[in-house]
Amino acid sequence: EVQLVQSGGGLVQAGGSLRLSCAASGFTSDDYAIGWFRQVPGKEREGVSCISSNADSTYNADSVKDRFTTSTDNAKNTVYLQMNSLKPEDTAVYYCAALRGNKGVMSIRTPNGYDYWGQGTQVTVSS
């Protein structure tokens, strides 16, 4: 059974840091692009930080550049989203997702087409 299990998240003050984890099982994460997305009520899900299966292509939204970083631990089949200098506008439900195949940046940055999704985790940044 294919699963993406997320952990991390929670409540943090502005300027603080959080790390989200996304543990993959049932497939090898290095065959898939991994994307982090977020969504707030009433808005579409947006790409935050995404990396292609061979790590040649990466995408980071302008709103999180120089603050958020995606990294992978292939031995643990786990992907991380390190979030620094958090702002209240980063408050959202964050999702990780996996997209099969070696895709370019235009494919990995959009939530459409992703094959598997994590359960989502709430991140709340207080001012």
| 69, pLDDT greater than 90 | yes
Per-residue pLDDT band at 8 (split at 50, 70, 90):
very high
So what's the pLDDT on residue 40?
Answer: 97
CA angle 101, 20, 18 (to 5 degrees): 145
CB atoms within 10 A of CB 100: 14
Q: How distant, in Å, are the alpha carbons of 32, 84, 89 from that of 78?
A: 12, 19, 26
Q: What is the mean pLDDT of the chain?
A: 93
What is the DSSP-derived secondary structure letter of residue 88? Answer: G
Q: For the segment 14-50, what is each residue's pLDDT rounded down to a tens digit?
A: 999 999 999 999 877 678 999 999 999 999 999 999 9
| Of residues 107 and 15, more confidently modeled | 15
Of the segments 66-75, 77-86, 98-107, which one has the largest average pLDDT value?
77-86
